[in-house]
Amino acid sequence: MPDEVDLAGINLNLLVALDALLREAHVTRAATRVGLTQSAMSHALAQLRELLDDALLIRGRGGMVLTPRAEQLTAPLRRGLVELQRALRSEPAFEPGTATRRFTVATRDYFGSVLLPSALELLGREAPGVDLSVQHVENSTFPALLESGEVDLSVVTPPVEPGPGLRQQKLFTEDFVCVVRKGHPKVRRGMDLDTYLELSHVLISPRGDGVGAVDVALAKRGLPPRRIAVRVPYFLIAPLVVTRSDHVLTAPRRLIAAFSEAYPLQVFPPPLPVPPFDMIQVWHERFDGDPAHQWLRGLVARAVGVAHPVSRNTRSSRRVRRAPAS
């Protein structure tokens, strides 16, 4: 394919087919995504291979895989199609009360539990026709999804891998509390350090390995390590483990506040200082001035009780506190 591409000589519908093929890595699913028959999508793939002089999809052990050229095309193509959709959208203004659209937010289950109840209440009151899709986030992949437009906003903990055009706002700083079940035989009036170290612990570790903020704090003070009896990858599991065991959990305050209203739990300050962490929302600069995205960012901020969070480029975010495992 020449360096200067003559778009007039290309069937632009092929680009829609190519986007589906790159996203699905499967001819049948790609055909379903764009409403074509399997044979029509196979024909489109053959045309694309000739046009781009590349196989694009090849057979691997688990099915079709993208060639390096196809991987290179994925994000720019998605970004271009999203921009074209925005340019052709018939309604330039965004009126929350009458809008009918879907936003996609990438986050983890902890922030989903903190964000969603308040956000849904605001949506029902201000924008009843707006839908919200929440996806699990991986810090290594969401910058590309933001750039492509597949994800509108990501709510994460630092650090965020710096990327071209990423913007962020600090939403709040979160601290930790300790929690055990009510009636715990060893915890009646408070949680001192000796009792804390004597108990077995639940560790929230999204990656399933490593140490938590508590372990780092203990090591800095030359204290013996705690016994981690249970490791869980999800925030919402950990408090439930505590309700039916004699373990202790050190977890974000907002998470425990939600559970302590519904379950018989005792909540205490940690018996040693545990550094807090920050929550931020991240988006791509292409959507800085978009009224719909501005409204979405404001909705998220208000859902956590923040009126005017401070915006910054992700390249200048070194002072933002990261969230360790607990």
- Predicted confidence at residue 178, as pLDDT, reads 96
Q: How confident is the model at residue 144 (pLDDT cuts 50, 70, 90)?
A: confident
More confident residue, 309 or 283: 283
Residue 90 has pLDDT above 60, yes or no: no
CA 114 and chain centroid, separation: 13
User: Which tokens sit at 256?
Assistant: 């425990």
- Predicted confidence at residue 312, as pLDDT, reads 58
Lowest mean pLDDT among 70-84, 89-103, 193-207: 89-103
CB atoms within 10 A of CB 246: 15
d(Cα 202, Cα 227) in Å, to the nearest integer? Answer: 9
- Predicted confidence at residue 89, as pLDDT, reads 67
**What CATH number does the domain containing 253 carry?**
3.40.190.10
Averaged pLDDT for residues 83-93:
69
Residue 315 has pLDDT above 70, yes or no: no
Looking at the DSSP bridge assignments, the partners of residue 133 are 104
Q: How confident is the model at residue 320 (pLDDT cuts 50, 70, 90)?
A: very low
How far from 35 is each of 32, 39, 73, 171, 244, CA to CA, in Å? 5, 12, 22, 40, 50
Mean per-residue pLDDT of the chain:
86
Q: How confident is the model at residue 314 (pLDDT cuts 50, 70, 90)?
A: low
Averaged pLDDT for residues 1-30:
82
**Same domain membership, residue 185 and residue 155:** no
Structural domain that includes position 302: 101-165+286-314
**Same domain membership, residue 181 and residue 150:** no
SS3 for the chain is: CCCCCCHHHCCCHHHHHHHHHHHHCCHHHHHHHHCCCHHHHHHHHHHHHHHHCCCCEEEECCEEEECHHHHHHHHHHHHHHHHHHHHHCCCCCCCCCCCCEEEEEEECHHHHHHHHHHHHHHHHHHCCCEEEEEEECCCCCHHHHHHHCCCCEEEECCCCCCCCCEEEEEEEEECEEEEEECCCCCCCCCCCHHHHHHCEEEEECCCCCCCEHHHHHHHHCCCCCCEEEEEECCCCCHHHHHHCCCCEEEEEHHHHHHHHCCCCEEEECCCCCCCCEEEEEEEEHHHCCCHHHHHHHHHHHHHCCCCCCCEEEHHHCCCCCCCCEC
Residue 212 buriedness (CB in 10 A; 0-12 / 13-18 / 19+) = buried
- Predicted confidence at residue 150, as pLDDT, reads 85
- Predicted confidence at residue 39, as pLDDT, reads 93
CA 259 and chain centroid, separation: 22
Query: What is the tens place of the pLDDT at every residue in 262-299?
Result: 899 999 999 999 999 999 999 998 888 889 999 999 99
Write the CB contacts of 45 (distance below 8 Å, at least 6 apart in sequence).
Answer: 17, 21, 27, 56, 57
Lowest mean pLDDT among 87-96, 105-114, 205-214: 87-96
Q: Is residue 171 included in any domain, yes or no?
A: no
Which amino acid is residue 26, in one-letter code? H
**Same domain membership, residue 290 and residue 159:** yes
**Same domain membership, residue 252 and residue 224:** yes
Averaged pLDDT for residues 156-164:
75
* Among candidate residues 67, 88, 109, the one where a domain is terminated: 88
**Same domain membership, residue 295 and residue 246:** no
Residue 1 has pLDDT above 50, yes or no: no
Averaged pLDDT for residues 140-144:
75
**Same domain membership, residue 81 and residue 154:** no
User: Which tokens sit at 297?
Assistant: 């960012």
Query: What is the tens place of the pLDDT at every residue in 31-55?
Result: 999 999 999 999 999 999 998 999 9
Averaged pLDDT for residues 119-133:
94
**Same domain membership, residue 294 and residue 250:** no
- Predicted confidence at residue 308, as pLDDT, reads 52
**Same domain membership, residue 264 and residue 188:** yes
Q: Is residue 218 included in any domain, yes or no?
A: yes
Q: Is residue 273 included in any domain, yes or no?
A: no
Q: How confident is the model at residue 311 (pLDDT cuts 50, 70, 90)?
A: low
Angle at 165 between CA 163 and CA 167, to 5 degrees: 90
How many structural domains is the chain composed of? 3
% of the chain with per-residue pLDDT over 90: 58
**What CATH number does the domain containing 52 carry?**
1.10.10.10
Q: Is residue 320 included in any domain, yes or no?
A: no
Residue 306 has pLDDT above 80, yes or no: no
Instruction: Go through the chain and tell me how many residues it has.
Output: 326
pTM, rounded to two decimals: 0.69
